[in-house]
A = this chain, B = another copy of it.
Amino acid sequence: MDPRIEAHAEILVDWSARVEAGDDVVVSVGPDAHELAVAVAGALGERGANVHATYASGELGRAYQLAHDGDFDEDPDHELALYERADAVLFLDGGRNTSEGSDVPPETREAYSKARQGVREARLDTDWVKTVHPTRSLAQQANMSYAEYQEFAYDAILRDWEALAAEMAKMKEVLDDGSEVRLVKEDTDLTMSIEDRVAVNSAASVAYDSHNLPSGEVFTAPHATEGEVYFDVPMTIRGERVQDVRLTFEDGEVVDYSAAQNESVVGDILETDAGARRLGELGVGMNRGIDRFTDNVLFDEKMGDTVHLALGRAYGSNFPPDREDEANASAVHVDMITDVSEDSVLEVDGEVVQRDGTFRWEGGFDE
């Protein structure tokens, strides 16, 4: 077996999910994630955990949902009972076609998703981790050869997570101690308040309340946004390629926008509800193993030397425990990414934190 697959399994089980002997684990296996599943089963066996493997196939889901009359039973007993008793759920994504759900009517998908809300909540109540096995389908989506995509994915996944967590802790400290963030780059001068917010050190481990592998970002929930921002990293939003989005904020709300391609997608998002015109997230990408856009949000938003902002819903984890209801509410959460590796400055309370892709503690400039 490719030693990278075994290393991936070890990180997933030990660093990310913190599995221990006797844990009841569900392993969700994508049809092309078989090899990773074998490695994960070995790692779980070695640790004395108990494994139940599920089959996560987009083709199965599509066939089931298309054939059903759409009046789905709520939270089937058997599946709910499984997840309610699970200690951890490991999602090994890896399908054969990222467009498999494209001909399922959105209302059918929504009805199914709504009927399984209890099952979903039970899953999120475990030490769950979502990761991905590099597949040919994802290589295609990234416009890369399979071998090159494997290198890319393992560069992102097989990191020294303890070291990265320590580095990200510095960024978290800066944000936790700060009141205002300012981002300046080409066509961008944006200020946001982060007063009374808690930054999350998303270090790819449940011990950090971080449930993605790879991860590698520090994020918070900004408000009172003012100014302009330009997103130069391409994105796929709702199946459409969106390029060169520009937003103008006043009093925390988007008052003007443009895009070089599929501008109407941005307009549709902003029209969703009041919360969609406000920011729900400011994230600082710090995973330098990810050095390019691959059209997969699991990787893209963690890219090193990028900053992303999300329109819409904020995460409760960015608020003090008794103030989670202050989080911006919206039906959407849409991430947009901007490159800060060159000709850019990120400041907190007037002090530079990152300049031209170099952080203060990396010594690239005077503190």
* A interface residues, Cβ below 8 angstroms from B: 22, 24, 26-27, 29, 31, 34, 37-39, 41-46, 48, 50-57, 59-61, 63-69, 71-73, 76-79, 81-86
Contact = CB atoms under 8 A, between A and B. Distances in A.
Given A24-B77, A24-B78, A85-B81, A53 B60 contact: yes
Contacts of A37: 55, 57, 60
Query: Oligomeric state, in number of copies?
Result: 2
Contacts of A68: 45-46, 48
Given A60-B53, A82-B81, A84-B81, A24 B76 contact: yes
A247 B276 CA distance: 80
A63 B41 contact: yes
A22 to B, nearest CB: 6
A50 B112 CA distance: 11
Residue picked from A22, A54, A81, most chain B C-beta under 10 Å: A81
A67 B45 contact: yes
Contact of A64 (B51, B56, B71, B77): B51
Nearest to A112: B45
B41 A64 contact: yes
Contacts of A51: 60, 64
Contact of A66 (B42, B44, B83): B42
A98 to B, nearest CB: 17
Nearest to A35: B59
B79 A24 contact: yes
A274 to B, nearest CB: 37
Contacts of A72: 50
25 contacts: A22-B73, A24-B78, A37-B55, A37-B60, A38-B60, A39-B63, A41-B61, A42-B64, A44-B64, A45-B65, A45-B66, A45-B67, A46-B67, A48-B68, A48-B69, A51-B60, A51-B64, A52-B76, A52-B79, A52-B82, A53-B54, A54-B54, A78-B81, A78-B82, A81-B85
A223 to B, nearest CB: 41
Nearest to A37: B60
A57 to B, nearest CB: 7
Contacts of A61: 41
Residue picked from A38, A39, A48, A68, most chain B C-beta under 10 Å: A68
Given A42-B64, A53-B56, 14 more contacts: A29-B55, A29-B60, A31-B34, A34-B59, A37-B55, A43-B67, A45-B63, A45-B65, A45-B68, A52-B54, A52-B79, A55-B55, A77-B85, A81-B82
